[in-house]
Structure 1
């Protein structure tokens, strides 16, 4: 995108979201703002101001916050050591990570791991429950049983996605837009015709660590990296979609006969409870829902090998 004297709101949004996408897909990598602006084909200054104007925070502030929030999610639900989490979230040393973490969360990583209920947890869950509660919600918990799941191996994949929400009410926006985007991505899925490709939804962030108003929820098509022709098709036909690498590996798959919105809270409670009880630990933050229709989905939770 070339520089414009008077960029439109849509241009600012696209630049900011591409920057956000790059930062999310390179959480463990070393990069600079200039690397991102060069990737987008615009000047450092133009990208810097475009991101800050649209997102409401400077790019590097977002990068640091995002990495630390993802690290907090790993401390909560993964079985990784603090040193491994530091590396996964882009810190050269455990000491540097611990210092940055304590500055941001006012607790050391070790202390944070002992917290029974996170500061944002009760508020975020209450907001989501208020928006998604329907008659009979309580009975859906019966479907979220560990022994109903099966363990599967997924290949490394690339996600081509759009953000459904970016603002004050992410869950409300997701509910309003999902049917439209599910239809769009289902048609794309039909075009690529690749086994194990899926229409999925999830969040780029760590719930409930990230403030509710800053959560970014996506919908898109996940395609195994080995499907070269499909990736050429996606890059040539849908260059405007954002991209995110999804690591393959061992996953717990849990089919649930309900829509994506209703499944959200019981899914989180299921993950939280089983991690606390030691039934499994997650290998990363990349859990997601595979959408099989308007009233059916499958939950995929990445597992550490020893819990497979």
Structure 2
């Protein structure tokens, strides 16, 4: 990139968000800041300072925090042991992971797993409930039943997405902006004729662990990796979109007759309750909501094979 090039605030923010997206898509991989800067076509120094300015924390601080928070989410909802979680979150050894985890959370991974309710978990759910006016009790509880779930197998997909909101009120902004993003992605589905793709929404973060104000909410199109020609077209035509690999495999599919905002609280309570009771365990933090209609959506929860 030429030093004389003057970039807009939106372009600078996009560089930072692309860096955030790269870090999330490579949680288990080894990389450094130079790798990300080269991928974006900018200098190490430019990327480092730009990311810090827009995200409020240095890039490598975000990478470490994000990996440890995702690890904490896996301790909460998955059936993996500590060694498996350390590998999934990019640590070379279990000892290094355990040391970093205890420094960050003031608890060992084993002790953290025993905590019944996390402070951020309670706070995030309270804030979200106040915004969505969702109670998750008698009105919606009957829809969130394991008996209503269907066990399905999804293919590996590539998610092309936009960040809907980050910052002080991510859920509130998400609700306010969703119609715009849904219409944008629906037009893309129509343009590229993608019958096996989905418009989905969710967060990159671990809901019970990440500070509410640091949640990164997204909306995007999930496209099977087998649609190689379409993926190439999207790469060429929509380079401003972020990309994320979403693993296929065993999922629980739960259809609910409500919009995504109303479904959020009872969905999380459903996941948390069933994981605690051992009804099922998740294979990752990548549960999501498929937006199938104004008052109808489908929840997809990734399962460990032994619970399928």
Could you say which residue in structure 2 is the equivalent of 1:163? 163
Which one is further off, 116-125 or 207-216? 116-125
CA apart distance, 1:187? 1.2
- Which residue does the alignment assign to 1:274? 274
Query: For the structure 1 residues 2 and 87, does the alpha-carbon distance in structure 2 shift closer, same or farther, using more than 3 Å as the test?
Result: farther
What secondary structure, in the 3-state scheme, does the structure 1 residue paired with 2:221 have?
Answer: strand
Count, aligned residues? 308
Over residues 50-109 of structure 1, what are the superposed CA-to-partner deviations in whole Å (9 max), with x where a residue is unaligned? 000000000000000000000000000000010010000000000000000000000000
The 2-side partners of 1:85 and 1:134 are apart by 33
Following the alignment from structure 1 to structure 2, what is the Cα–Cα distance between the partners of residues 183 and 198? 13
2:37 paired with 1:17: no
3-state DSSP class of the match of 1:168? coil
Partner of 1:295: 295
In 2 relative to 1, CA 38–136 (structure 1 residues): closer, same or farther, beyond 3 Å? closer
- For residue 255 of structure 1, what is the aligned residue in structure 2? 255
TM-score (norm 1): 0.97
8 A contact 2:136–2:266 mirrored in 1? no
Gaps of 5+ in 1: none
Aligned to 1:66: 66
CA distance in structure 2 between the aligned counterparts of 1:29 and 1:268, rounded to whole angstroms: 28
Tell me the alpha carbon deviations over residues 229-268 of structure 1, each in whole angstroms, 9 at most, x when there is no partner.
1101111111110000000000000000100001000000
Partner of 1:130: 130
The aligned runs of 1:73-152 (5 Å cut-off) are 73-133=73-133, 138-152=138-152
Q: Which residue in the other structure is 1:181 paired with?
A: 181
Q: SS at the partner of 1:120?
A: helix
In 1, the alpha carbon distance for the partners of 2:115 and 2:134 equals 31
How far off its partner does 1:2 sit?
Answer: 4.6
> 1:191 Cα deviation (Å)?
2.2
The whole-number CA distance in structure 2 between the counterparts of 1:243 and 1:69 is 20
| Kept after mapping to 1: 8 A contact 2:136/2:265 | no
CA distance in 2, matches of 1:233, 1:8: 26
Shift of 1:168: 0.3
Runs of 4 or more, structure 1, over 3 Å off, are 1-7, 134-138
Moved more, 265-274 or 183-192: 183-192
Query: How far off its partner does 1:294 sit?
Result: 1.6
Deviation at 1:5, TM superposition (A): 6.5
Deviation of the 1:8 alpha carbon? 2.7
Does the aligned pair in 2 maintain the 1:3–1:46 contact within 8 Å? no
Distance 1:4-1:91 versus aligned 2 partners, 3 A rule: farther
Partner of 1:197: 197
1:285 paired to 2:285: yes
| Normalised TM-score (structure 2) | 0.97
The 2-side partners of 1:304 and 1:162 are apart by: 28
Deviation of 1:138 after TM superposition, in Å, equals 4.0
Cα root mean square deviation, aligned: 1.4
